[in-house]
Structure 1
């Protein structure tokens, strides 16, 4: 049996790896991924504090600094397609582990730069310029991280376990968010508002830089999953996946659009939505996020294992149709009561699991091994940038324009679009990975 067959047929460890290495493979991808996403989400959880320090306040509209902060959040997302293409190409040409090493180094550097960003009061326009550069570096890293870690996780999985292994993409992502949310909530509880504005918001980014170094150390022990024949053969071109697999690339976009807007609305923007639209307490919103993210992380392996038994499509349709039907009443029911936001966020997390627990497996099962990482990375990251990265900005814009109720309908519409793609998606759970 060739090494390509070994991976394609789902053996539990890559060729050349020692027995019992599956847990180490899972840890290498998951811990590094958690470090990546901790850094990325710390920014969104602390957006209201960054806005006060880095952007000048408008005398006519208090939402202007927050809009500017979320605009920078979106700018980082638009580096993700470039990161997905470049780091995906590195993974396909030089191996998954080389790409994973590069992405985590970039994320640590970006996090450190955010921590050291000067205030607008101190240096003027240079402050937002430094912040934009930091977010561009982080966007490049995160775009490449999903492509490389998704491919690495699914190729490391055993027979009938690709759904379970792929669910750890969002387990680790959620753990990173959870730590970021928990650190932010703890700082809010321990520090006065003045101290948070002065220096407290910088602490999570310093922690993130250290966290990235820990992830780098763990990833050094990972085993390569790229088939040996492809390591010695001709290397794929940068745009080979797009050129040779246009249908698959379009399919990735359709799969991702609804999941992306729903995911970033529920896990990133919802606390701010509650603050802006229901006068929800800032500190309580962070606490609710921490609780609901822990609940979300526990759901992912259950969804992954279920998809290995019944297939990917039933879970995807449960997510898309459920969200399309319920997102408007759920967001409309948010009040300034703690229990209200907690129930809404947890209900959305159950629906969202239908997408997040299987997304990595579905994406990896679409492309052949030769261009798998780059094939996933570019269309996925482009779609996330267009719909996920802009979610906080679009939601805040709807509020500023006096049409806050329009945002939930926007989310519902995109979920219906993705449902159409899920209906025509071939079921891939039981077949082998493409060699």
Structure 2
């Protein structure tokens, strides 16, 4: 036998969910959702998790990490069906709902009960849901802390699993102190999973505080974009951004498009501009109510609206199966945010395009992004005559949008021009404790240990 044949015969067969050690109930659930082959992160994480080890998972968005932690938790729950079993902390409301849906679909044969505890919705129905003893609580940190302080009878004293999902984003959004307060009132004898797209110094500090002898699993060594993504740029004067955006949307009208803006104000303004010009656009940002945000996502996912105008609330974690085009109306300050944004398209082996509007003030940012992704963007071709013909109509739509937003402001509706990408201004911090600046009630917290 030749050395090549020997190598081929000794090569390990590709992993299956069954070979990873999952029980029949979960295998059937995976079959029902048409998830047949484990992803890299699932292949690496699940065997260690089933052995009861703490896990640090470093993986990019779209890698299948939700199932990587949900499946082992559900298997352990099957073996030991007791009360409130697991708590998952997520940075955004939409991601929390999405994680809950995955738990419920994968645990459907077990009758798994989940409660989603996020800001932007009334607290009383949440307290009722918690009183029903769900198996899994998926929460944003501030609202969970509020219930730990204020909801009688609710605590995490018997918790078996804690998951910190998108840990780098949680910490970028200044949830660090809130997470510290939550860690103080949950059992030290627990299993902890921490998943992050990057290992920042803040994440490393959180790891040391919350995990014991963890196994580190890394399936994405560096930030990069997928090979099936075609990346373009449009170099334009700042004053012509709106008309060039409308030109692109008009030229790509048959596609599903996400337009990313830096501020809530621009997301709202551009949605009105596009609707005025006859395009089916819907906004998604942190100053909408939770029902509005979920409604916008549902319309876009179903194809009822072709265009989603969003802040970075939509750049990470959300599973939007088919997006043809991502347009960066504003260039993100951090290269990793660019990668998360354009990662909304060209998913699961499909092709996709991204187009970034570059003004005279953005050249350095684009060069930095190109250096990180090790790829040069190509120039998107345009027809100057068509753009010129659109200018007057776009300017008129802009005036209509400005008046409409002014009316909303006068009614106390929207705070204009605010960043929605993270930090203390981000409404996606979304929780009564954090937004209202409510001091931590140390006495109540102590009583819940």
TM band (smaller chain): under 0.3
Which structure has the larger Rg? 2
Structure with more of its chain in helix, by fraction = 1
Q: TM-score, normalised by structure 1?
A: 0.24
Which of 1 and 2 has higher RCO (CA within 8 Å, sep 6+)? 1
Structure with more of its chain in strand, by fraction = 2
